[in-house]
Amino acid sequence: MSEVTHTKPVAVAAPPFSFTQVLPWLIFAAMLFLVAWYFISAEQGATSLLSGTAVHEWVHDGRHLLGFPCH
């Protein structure tokens, strides 16, 4: 079989994405994760950005069951 008609793909060992390709998405996903998990884990518990206890009350059961210190 000649080179021209050889259509089988050759195994690619190289990673499909370079680090710089992934980095912006990694930063975005990490920021999203950190902000969300802050509100689930610590807001109006150990530390408060917002006044009152509404956030604490709303995520109360989730905070306990996801394993964070509470009260």
Residues that bind another protein (CB under 8 A): 1, 6, 8-17, 19, 21-22, 24-26, 28-30, 32-33, 36-37, 39-42, 45-47, 52-54, 56-71
- Measured from the CB of residue 24, what is the shortest distance to another protein in angstroms? 8
Output 1 or 4, the one with its CB closest to another protein. 1
Q: Transcribe 35-62 into DSSP letters.
A: HHHHHHHTBTTTB-SSSSSHHHHHTHHH
- Measured from the CB of residue 4, what is the shortest distance to another protein in angstroms? 14
Q: Of 54, 36, 56, which Cα lies nearest the Cα of 46?
A: 56
Q: What is the DSSP letter of 12?
A: P
